[in-house]
């Protein structure tokens, strides 16, 4: 079996123009759950309200045993969005990035306000999300898809 090294050096090698319109940028974040637990204990509801939507707060607080892990996963998701969309230099509001659970329990992302406008400006047409938590860590991976040729920036 041979491997075409050009695919590592040229991300457009062998990709049709139609496929190139959906290029992906990835964001990944890993959060130490005890750090979130400490912030919750130290700052309480003020910490929650600063970073999370009312629905995210209600979901996390619905399970005291999983509260810190649920907040940590959502914190990781917000960081991963910022990385995937390239928003680190824009000072976006964390509350404008929301993890939403559907009726089947699957999580997706919703952007609002200035954060949504910046994502659209960068060509982001869709965000895909994967969350996990185990032991002391929570992680999120976000793929930012673009309909613009060449990706989202």
On whether the CB atoms of residues 26 and 141 are closer than 8 A, the answer is: yes
Both tokens assigned to 38 = 């400490």
10 is an annotated ligand-binding site residue: no
pLDDT of residue 95: 96
Nearest CA among 3, 22, 18, 27 for reference residue 86: 27
Structural domains of the chain, count: 1
Going by the DSSP 8-state scheme, the letter that residue 3 receives in this structure is -
In a domain, 53, yes or no: yes
pLDDT of residue 146: 86
Average pLDDT along the chain: 87
pLDDT digits (tens, 9 = 90+) for 11-27: 556 656 665 556 678 99
Q: pTM for the full model?
A: 0.82
Higher local confidence (pLDDT), 90 or 60: 60
Nearest CA among 109, 14, 4 for reference residue 53: 109
On whether the CB atoms of residues 77 and 131 are closer than 8 A, the answer is: yes
134 is an annotated ligand-binding site residue: no
Give the CATH number for residue 64: 3.90.470.20
pLDDT at residue 5 is higher than 60? no
Tokens 């994967």 found at: 130
pLDDT of residue 151: 42
On whether the CB atoms of residues 97 and 81 are closer than 8 A, the answer is: yes
Give SS3 for 130: strand
Q: In percent, how much of the chain has pLDDT > 70?
A: 81
pLDDT digits (tens, 9 = 90+) for 31-81: 999 999 999 999 999 999 999 999 999 999 999 999 999 999 999 999 999
Tokens 């892990």 found at: 69
Domain that holds residue 36: 22-146
């Amino acid at each position: 079996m041979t491997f075409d090294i050009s695919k590592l050096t040229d991300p457009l090698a062998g990709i049709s123009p139609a496929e190139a319109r959906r290029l992906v940028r990835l964001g990944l974040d890993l959060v130490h759950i005890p750090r979130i637990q400490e912030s919750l204990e130290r700052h309480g509801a003020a910490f929650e309200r600063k970073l999370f939507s009312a629905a995210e707060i209600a979901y996390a607080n619905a399970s005291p045993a999983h509260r810190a892990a649920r907040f940590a996963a959502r914190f990781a998701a917000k960081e991963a969005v910022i990385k995937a969309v390239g928003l680190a230099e824009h000072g976006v509001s964390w509350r404008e990035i929301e993890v939403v659970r559907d009726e089947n329990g699957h999580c997706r992302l919703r952007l609002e306000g200035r954060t949504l406008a910046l994502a659209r400006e960068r060509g982001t047409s869709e965000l895909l999300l994967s969350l996990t938590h185990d032991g002391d860590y929570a992680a999120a991976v976000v793929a930012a898809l673009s309909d613009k040729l060449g990706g989202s920036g």
